[in-house]
A and B are shown apart, each in its own frame.
Chain A
Amino acid sequence: MPLPLDLQILNALAALLLLLSFAMLSQRRIVTLVNLLAFQGALLCAATLLLAWRTGENHLYLSALLTLTLKVVFLPWLLHRLIRRLGVYWDTEPVLNIPGTMLIALLIVVFSFGLAQPISELASTATRNAIGIAVAVILLAFLTMITRRKAMSQVVGFLSMENGLFFGAMSATYGMPMIVELGVALDVLVAMLVLGVFFFQIREQFDSLDLHHLESLKEEE
């Protein structure tokens, strides 16, 4: 039973989102990582616009605008600036090797899809099948944060997690209430500014942004 065209496109966008999460897991260049994040934001914006057009809910248009300015334009610009000033371009040593990470990622995807199936039954939106993808994106972003060494990649993982959350909210309940969304966006913005300052401090202390240097801060008995 074929779905209408806009739902098919939404499904395709969801699948692309998942693919991007996988690509971010295996990416070694930090510049490309940020670009992938920007692309993810663009996909989210497109999905929100499509959903707004389909359901006619006006606050989704505002949501899309917010996503566009914040996640596609401002935050990637900020991150690029940070990368240039800090001079970190490569994150070549993940904690686990790439095939192993991919395998765990695949298992996580299976887990999320399985988890989401009963939830999808309860939801009433047209995009409820994509809830599993949203959960998978969140968990994969978490995995990205775990398996990376450089602080910059971890921040990208954190932002990707927020993308996944946003997508999940969209597919389950047609978006969060505007207040919640504005609050989350503000939180993310403030977090980014604080982290930016933090990075400079870390680099001053340790001369590198490799996070395993932070382990030396624990007390020795």
Chain B
Amino acid sequence: MTTGLSSPLAICLALLAAWGVVGLAGMLRPASLRFAGRTLFPLGALCGAALAVVAGLNIAAPPEQIVLLIGLPDLPLHMRLDALSSVFLVLLGATSTGISIFSAGYFRRGQGTLPGLLCLEYHLFLASMGFVLLADDAYGFMLAWETMALSSYFLVTTQHRIPEIRSAGFLYLLIAHVGAISILLAFGVLQGGTWHFTFDSMRTAEMKPAWATAAFLLALFGFGAKAGLVPLHVWLPEAHPAAPSPVSALMSGVMLKTAVYGMLRVTFDLIGTPAWWWGLILLMVGLLTALYGVVYAAAQTDMKRLLAYSSIENIGILFTGMGLAVVYFGVGMPVPGTVALVAVLYHALNHAFMKSLLFLGTGAVLHATGERNLGRLGGLIHRMPWTAWLTLVGALAIAGLPPLNGFVSEWLLLQSFLLAHEVPKPFVNMLLPLGAAVLVLAAALAGYVMVKFFGVIFLGQPREARLKDAHDAGRTERIGLIWLAAGCVLLGLLPTRVLPTLSLVPEQLGLSVGTMATSSWWRLVPLPDRGASYSPMIFLLAVAAVIAITVLAVHYFYHQRIRRSAPWDCGFVRLDARMQDTAEGFGQPIRHIFQPFFTLERELPTPFDAAPRYRVTIGDPLWRALYLPLGRVVQRGADSLAWLQQGRIASYLLYSFVTLLTLLALML
């Protein structure tokens, strides 16, 4: 518990403060794009990289705490750095480095917000996320949480002159605050009668099971609202497309993971011994979210909405893994529970890199073409090769193809599902394999979504004439993309390095004994008595060797002549770019198969139309069934309270008088 100036916790806090300073420096010359882009964002990237390094080196160390003397009297800010925080700090630092480098070359003038102000909001967002990960008492946590919500709101509404963006920001802020209230209530329950709000006292507080369940459900609601669990997901598909792409990348990649961190912290650390049946709730909510997200993603026509729904799917997968871990730990099977928990952490890391890479790719496309609609893109691989190939890495990673990183976390999760039939509870040992089936379905659909995403945007022929003038990403943008793609590849090839580090987290939380056995530096064996192993490097070598031998053999034995000609048109000579599959067309099988999930409105052409049109609008049934009625109820309640606003001074004086009388009566 050192509090020296060179302790890792102090260094991390200093780096977070450095982010704040960089942000404030942006206000020195608010209108200068060059200052923000050339100097400040790269500085922020450097701080992020340093944060990742410090936190990464510190994962194995015992937890340390600091009490900062800022804050209200009697409520100082407690900070703590332990293995769980370090893992997420690595996530924050490493991902934000790539995103900040990209942003250095990305932001343009004239979007409605001054560059300096943007720099301030951005770095404040980063710093507040770091503080959320380090907070060790409820007050500090909520302070950082609110700052995170507010700064991201301002970032989302960067282009505030557009009304849709303003309403998206409003929805986001609304649900963020509803969630924050729930988290606050959860902390209120967690203090367990001691009326001390530090996490230390919450860890040692004794709670009756009913109260523990209440705290868990409140925390699930609150963190779920921020993470985007169904049915609290409605803000995600609005806010992520509305924000500029680096901000979407930060929100999808990092901010959603802070909600996952919060849930992990509350369930495994603050409550300590989760009941096994909470895991079933987490599992069901997670699987529903995963399926919902990916099915909607397959039906989208806006590239950023597609990615937003894909984020919802991955959050669902994360909560499924969490649920599985809770079930295993609750029934006393710590070995598969550890595997599940480590799979959750790994997937969080992976998704941060993969999704940020994809969002930044769409940012480059947006800059080059000005289009977000998939129906107006196409064939961009010719004009934007760097962006295309790097985005391909991200797309293949999310689809879960070996040897990239998405496959590793999926593999780990499936391995831990394999022991599900040994759970000693009667229904659960059959429901869990059913859950595995749904998970596998969602993963397969993710591949579908990524083929649609990459194929419609980058492959084929350009659907609009002006796409021929698209330019590739600039130099700094390329560096950011390369950083993230390299992260994806490295996380995929080196799981034997990452896994023992991640398995320190359950060990430190007291859930498991001994780190997960891995037999050597090149081979991953999570469950030693099961004979399942995976070695991405050898796998990659084997595939590369086979391909290389094939290429060499074909070159050696046969000629390499190529002729170019027109594509096969089946005799119809006027085949043009509009006859390719559209995004709606590509999503049509999914819409057809999963019809109950959607509310579809179709406008079909008739033979008598002068200008025939076909329009399909996909609505969210939860919006209509849940939110609109809720909104009406709130509106009615507010209207009925409106009579309090009489408008006459006499009534307001009367209110103050009555309050004064009541207070005097209470005091006596």
Q: In their complex, do chains A and B touch, with some C-beta pair under 8 Å?
A: yes
Which residues of chain A have a CB within 8 Å of any CB of chain B? Answer: 99-100, 106, 110-111, 113-115, 117-118
Q: How many A-B residue pairs have CB under 8 A?
A: 16
Shortest Cβ distance from A114 into B: residue:
B427
**Residues of the A chain whose Cβ atoms lie less than 8 Å from the Cβ of B434:** 106, 110
> Does residue B426 face the partner (Cβ distance < 8 Å to A)?
yes
Which residues between 406 and 430 of chain B lie within 8 Å of chain A, taking CB atoms? 426-427, 430
Which of the residues A100, A113, A114 comes within 8 Å of B596, measured between beta carbons? A100
Q: Report the Cα distance A43→B286, complex, angstroms.
A: 41
Q: Report the Cα distance A106→B431, complex, angstroms.
A: 10
Q: Report the Cα distance A86→B81, complex, angstroms.
A: 78
A111 touches B427 (CB 8 A): yes
**Residues of the B chain whose Cβ atoms lie less than 8 Å from the Cβ of A111:** 427
**Residues of the A chain whose Cβ atoms lie less than 8 Å from the Cβ of B430:** 110, 113-114
Name the 9 nearest CB pairs between A and B, nearest first: A114-B427, A117-B426, A110-B430, A114-B426, A113-B430, A114-B430, A110-B431, A110-B434, A118-B426
**Residues of the A chain whose Cβ atoms lie less than 8 Å from the Cβ of B426:** 114-115, 117-118
Which of the residues A99, A106, A115, A118 comes within 8 Å of B593, measured between beta carbons? A99
B593 touches A110 (CB 8 A): no
Apart from A99-B593, A115-B426: 14 A-B pairs, beta carbons within 8 A: A100-B596, A106-B434, A110-B427, A110-B430, A110-B431, A110-B434, A111-B427, A113-B430, A114-B426, A114-B427, A114-B430, A114-B431, A117-B426, A118-B426
16 contacts between A and B (CB under 8 A): A99-B593, A100-B596, A106-B434, A110-B427, A110-B430, A110-B431, A110-B434, A111-B427, A113-B430, A114-B426, A114-B427, A114-B430, A114-B431, A115-B426, A117-B426, A118-B426
Q: Report the Cα distance A115→B430, complex, angstroms.
A: 11
A217 nearest CB across to chain B (Å): 30
Q: Report the Cα distance A73→B427, complex, angstroms.
A: 39
Shortest Cβ distance from A100 into B: residue:
B596
Q: Report the Cα distance A130→B550, complex, angstroms.
A: 54
Q: Report the Cα distance A113→B431, complex, angstroms.
A: 10
How many residues of chain B have a CB within 8 Å of chain A? 7
A167 nearest CB across to chain B (Å): 20
B435 nearest CB across to chain A (Å): 11
A96 nearest CB across to chain B (Å): 9
Shortest Cβ distance from B427 into A: residue:
A114
A114 nearest CB across to chain B (Å): 4
Q: Report the Cα distance A66→B451, complex, angstroms.
A: 59
Q: Report the Cα distance A22→B426, complex, angstroms.
A: 23
Shortest Cβ distance from B428 into A: residue:
A114
Q: Report the Cα distance A117→B596, complex, angstroms.
A: 33
Contact flags B583-594 to A (C-beta < 8 A → 1, else 0) = 000000000010
Contact flags B426-466 to A (C-beta < 8 A → 1, else 0) = 11001100100000000000000000000000000000000
Q: Report the Cα distance A112→B426, complex, angstroms.
A: 11
Q: Report the Cα distance A106→B430, complex, angstroms.
A: 11
Shortest Cβ distance from A113 into B: residue:
B430
Q: Report the Cα distance A99→B434, complex, angstroms.
A: 16
Q: Report the Cα distance A115→B426, complex, angstroms.
A: 8
Q: Report the Cα distance A114→B431, complex, angstroms.
A: 9
Q: Report the Cα distance A115→B427, complex, angstroms.
A: 7
B223 nearest CB across to chain A (Å): 28
Q: Report the Cα distance A207→B431, complex, angstroms.
A: 45
Q: Report the Cα distance A114→B432, complex, angstroms.
A: 12
Shortest Cβ distance from A109 into B: residue:
B430
**Residues of the B chain whose Cβ atoms lie less than 8 Å from the Cβ of A99:** 593
Q: Report the Cα distance A80→B559, complex, angstroms.
A: 69
Q: Report the Cα distance A100→B597, complex, angstroms.
A: 12
Q: Report the Cα distance A70→B203, complex, angstroms.
A: 68
**Residues of the B chain whose Cβ atoms lie less than 8 Å from the Cβ of A106:** 434
Q: Report the Cα distance A117→B426, complex, angstroms.
A: 7
**Residues of the A chain whose Cβ atoms lie less than 8 Å from the Cβ of B593:** 99
Shortest Cβ distance from B593 into A: residue:
A99
B531 nearest CB across to chain A (Å): 22
**Residues of the B chain whose Cβ atoms lie less than 8 Å from the Cβ of A114:** 426-427, 430-431
A181 nearest CB across to chain B (Å): 31
Q: Report the Cα distance A111→B430, complex, angstroms.
A: 9
Shortest Cβ distance from B596 into A: residue:
A100
B437 nearest CB across to chain A (Å): 9
Which residues between 566 and 613 of chain B lie within 8 Å of chain A, taking CB atoms? 593, 596
Q: Report the Cα distance A113→B432, complex, angstroms.
A: 13
A185 nearest CB across to chain B (Å): 34
Shortest Cβ distance from A111 into B: residue:
B427
Q: Report the Cα distance A158→B431, complex, angstroms.
A: 28
Q: Report the Cα distance A118→B425, complex, angstroms.
A: 10
A93 nearest CB across to chain B (Å): 16
**Residues of the B chain whose Cβ atoms lie less than 8 Å from the Cβ of A113:** 430
**Residues of the B chain whose Cβ atoms lie less than 8 Å from the Cβ of A118:** 426
B598 nearest CB across to chain A (Å): 14
Contact flags B61-105 to A (C-beta < 8 A → 1, else 0) = 000000000000000000000000000000000000000000000
Q: Report the Cα distance A60→B426, complex, angstroms.
A: 32
Q: Report the Cα distance A100→B430, complex, angstroms.
A: 20
Q: Report the Cα distance A110→B426, complex, angstroms.
A: 10
**Residues of the B chain whose Cβ atoms lie less than 8 Å from the Cβ of A117:** 426
**Residues of the B chain whose Cβ atoms lie less than 8 Å from the Cβ of A100:** 596
B600 nearest CB across to chain A (Å): 15
Shortest Cβ distance from A106 into B: residue:
B434
**Residues of the A chain whose Cβ atoms lie less than 8 Å from the Cβ of B427:** 110-111, 114
Q: Report the Cα distance A100→B427, complex, angstroms.
A: 22
A135 nearest CB across to chain B (Å): 13
Shortest Cβ distance from B437 into A: residue:
A106
Q: Report the Cα distance A114→B434, complex, angstroms.
A: 13
A94 nearest CB across to chain B (Å): 14
Most buried by A among B430, B431, B434, B596: B430
**Residues of the A chain whose Cβ atoms lie less than 8 Å from the Cβ of B596:** 100
Shortest Cβ distance from B434 into A: residue:
A110
**Residues of the B chain whose Cβ atoms lie less than 8 Å from the Cβ of A110:** 427, 430-431, 434
Q: Report the Cα distance A118→B566, complex, angstroms.
A: 68
Q: Report the Cα distance A117→B425, complex, angstroms.
A: 10
Shortest Cβ distance from B431 into A: residue:
A110
Q: Report the Cα distance A100→B426, complex, angstroms.
A: 25
A130 nearest CB across to chain B (Å): 16
A120 nearest CB across to chain B (Å): 10
Q: Report the Cα distance A28→B426, complex, angstroms.
A: 35
A119 nearest CB across to chain B (Å): 10
Q: Report the Cα distance A129→B596, complex, angstroms.
A: 36
Q: Report the Cα distance A99→B590, complex, angstroms.
A: 13
Shortest Cβ distance from B595 into A: residue:
A97
Q: Report the Cα distance A100→B595, complex, angstroms.
A: 10
B438 nearest CB across to chain A (Å): 10
Shortest Cβ distance from B433 into A: residue:
A110
Q: Report the Cα distance A146→B141, complex, angstroms.
A: 52
B339 nearest CB across to chain A (Å): 24
Q: Report the Cα distance A115→B431, complex, angstroms.
A: 12
A133 nearest CB across to chain B (Å): 13
Most buried by B among A100, A114, A118: A114
B424 nearest CB across to chain A (Å): 11
Shortest Cβ distance from B425 into A: residue:
A114
A98 nearest CB across to chain B (Å): 11
A17 nearest CB across to chain B (Å): 19
B444 nearest CB across to chain A (Å): 16
**Residues of the A chain whose Cβ atoms lie less than 8 Å from the Cβ of B431:** 110, 114
Q: Report the Cα distance A35→B593, complex, angstroms.
A: 30
B292 nearest CB across to chain A (Å): 15
Q: Report the Cα distance A114→B430, complex, angstroms.
A: 7
Q: Report the Cα distance A110→B437, complex, angstroms.
A: 13
Q: Report the Cα distance A55→B280, complex, angstroms.
A: 42
Q: Report the Cα distance A111→B427, complex, angstroms.
A: 7
Shortest Cβ distance from A117 into B: residue:
B426
Q: Report the Cα distance A118→B427, complex, angstroms.
A: 10
Shortest Cβ distance from A118 into B: residue:
B426
B277 nearest CB across to chain A (Å): 14
